[in-house]
Amino acid sequence: MIGQTRTRTLLAALLVTAVALPATLPQPAAARSGGAAKSLKAIDTDNDGTIDLAEAQAAGKATFERLDTDRDGSVDTKELQGRISKKEMKMADPDNDKSVDQKEYDALVAERFKAADPDGDGKLDAKELKTPAGRSLLRLLK
């Protein structure tokens, strides 16, 4: 009788754990992928379900203005907060002043947009934004 009680108690504890555990585990990538859809919705000002270059550049301009905390018209690596690598910074900074101005930031947004648009249709959908190139672009727009 005691063995059955222990077995039932153990089974009940396992059942409670099995029900509660999934809520505490990290969500799988598929569940997290709503980030691209959420970003798309925020940037897609004409609500056509895609982002075109003009929408990406408008979002990039707003992000640049927010990142330019000292209001000097450029963002340095500290202000960029890891949005681009050191190698990318060198490429985005042709005047080598260790910062990126609005024009240089716009060029970087355009470059990343083009990389995220492999079909060349001039529009990015949620699927394209989930690619490494799309996520790289979104880092500049958030």
Please report, as a single letter, which amino acid is at residue 134: G
Q: What is the mean pLDDT of the chain?
A: 83
pLDDT for residue 25 = 43
Give, in degrees to the nearest 5, the angle at Cα 49 between 132 and 28.
45
54-98, pLDDT tens digit by residue?
999 999 999 999 999 999 999 999 999 999 999 999 999 999 999
pLDDT for residue 1 = 56
pTM to 2 decimal places: 0.73
pLDDT for residue 38 = 86
98-134, pLDDT tens digit by residue?
999 999 999 999 999 999 999 999 999 999 999 999 9
Res. 27 pLDDT band, cuts 50 70 90: very low
Domain 33-141 listed as CATH 1.10.3470: no
Q: What is the DSSP code string of 3-66?
A: HHHHHHHHHHHHHHHHHHHHHHSPPPHHHHTHHHHHHHHHH-TT-SSSEEHHHHHHHHHHHHHH
Res. 41 pLDDT band, cuts 50 70 90: confident
Burial status of residue 2 (CB atoms within 10 A of its CB: 0-12, 13-18, 19 or more): exposed
pLDDT for residue 35 = 75
